[in-house]
């Protein structure tokens, strides 16, 4: 049984698959017993064929495929459901997250309080387009004021969390953007860890600035509703 499952959602990322898998292996092989669970969100390119070919070089690789495109949150959730390890690391499939930062999150967990169930990557220096940086800054500011989740960067795909805790959270589309707030709602804590961020060098972004902004604002109202109705009570068995 692996100690860590690395879940990577992909949609039309054929050129990013081999180098990212190699970086995951370089970061973790021989240091932690891990598996890499790739979730292909019904790609229309040959991402699935590339993944199958990579299994000869990466015995840790497992492949889950959606029969129809279902989005990033669903891909992450199905990857976590398929995972066998008690702790999950997630990475975006576009290569902008550096797998070399995963051990940093693992080390942070070793000294964290038991109530900390989420270690969220914090991209202190963004390597995105100007429009993408602006939309993320606006979204993070609005989200922080509404949810008070004390998290500077919820959009970073690099995270480490407990599988059991994640699967107990409310599930909805785009939930991956609100994990710190949802973990807080469940009575646990999260910490943010500075990580590196790289420019996209292969493939194209799958969404635009207005898509991110308007969808995010709509989701915020729902998450705020959930937060207001949360009731966490400490219990004692007598």
Residue positions counted in the chain: 238
User: What confidence tens digit (pLDDT) does each residue in 81-98 have?
Assistant: 999 999 999 999 999 999
Dihedral over Cα of 213, 128, 64, 44: its sign: positive
Residue 22 scores a pLDDT above 90: yes
- Specify the 3-state DSSP secondary structure of 69: coil
Beta carbons of 65 and 40 less than 8 angstroms apart: yes
User: Which residue, among 89, 118, 64, 106, has the nearest Cα to 6 in the 3D structure?
Assistant: 89
H or E segment at 183? helix 179-185
pLDDT value at position 215?
A: 53
More confident site: 178 or 194: 194
User: What confidence tens digit (pLDDT) does each residue in 111-132 have?
Assistant: 999 999 999 999 887 655 555 6
Task: Find the mean pLDDT for residues 13-31.
Answer: 97
CA dist., res. 108 & res. 191, Å (int): 9
CA dist., res. 233 & res. 178, Å (int): 22
73 backbone dihedrals φ, ψ, rounded to 5°: -60, -45
User: What confidence tens digit (pLDDT) does each residue in 185-234 have?
Assistant: 899 999 999 999 888 878 666 554 445 555 565 676 666 656 666 666 67
4-228: CATH topology? Spore Coat Polysaccharide Biosynthesis Protein SpsA; Chain A (3.90.550)
pTM of the model: 0.84
Secondary structure of the chain: what % helix, strand, coil (to 5)?
40, 20, 40
Beta carbons of 79 and 9 less than 8 angstroms apart: yes
């Amino acid at each position: 049984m692996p100690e860590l499952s690395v879940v990577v959602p992909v949609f039309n990322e054929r050129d990013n698959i081999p180098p990212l898998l190699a970086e995951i292996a370089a970061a973790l092989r021989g240091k932690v017993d891990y598996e890499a669970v790739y979730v292909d969100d019904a790609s229309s390119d040959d991402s699935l064929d590339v993944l199958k070919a990579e299994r000869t070089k990466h015995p840790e690789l497992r492949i889950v495929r959606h029969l129809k495109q279902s989005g990033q949150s669903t891909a992450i959730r199905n990857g976590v459901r398929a995972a066998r390890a008690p702790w999950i690391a997630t990475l975006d499939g576009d290569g902008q997250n550096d797998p070399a930062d995963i051990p940093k999150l693992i080390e942070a967990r070793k000294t964290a309080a038991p109530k900390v169930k989420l270690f969220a990557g914090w991209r202190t220096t963004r390597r995105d387009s100007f429009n993408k940086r602006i939309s993320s800054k606006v979204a993070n500011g609005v989200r922080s004021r509404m949810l008070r989740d004390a998290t500077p960067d919820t959009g970073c795909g690099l995270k480490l969390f407990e599988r059991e805790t994640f699967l107990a959270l409310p599930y909805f589309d785009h939930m991956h953007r609100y994990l710190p707030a949802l973990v807080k709602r469940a009575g646990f804590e999260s910490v943010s860890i500075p990580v590196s961020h790289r420019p996209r060098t292969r493939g194209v972004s799958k969404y635009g600035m207005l898509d991110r902004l308007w969808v995010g604002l709509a989701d915020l109202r729902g998450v705020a509703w959930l937060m207001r109705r949360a009731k966490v009570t400490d219990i004692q068995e007598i």
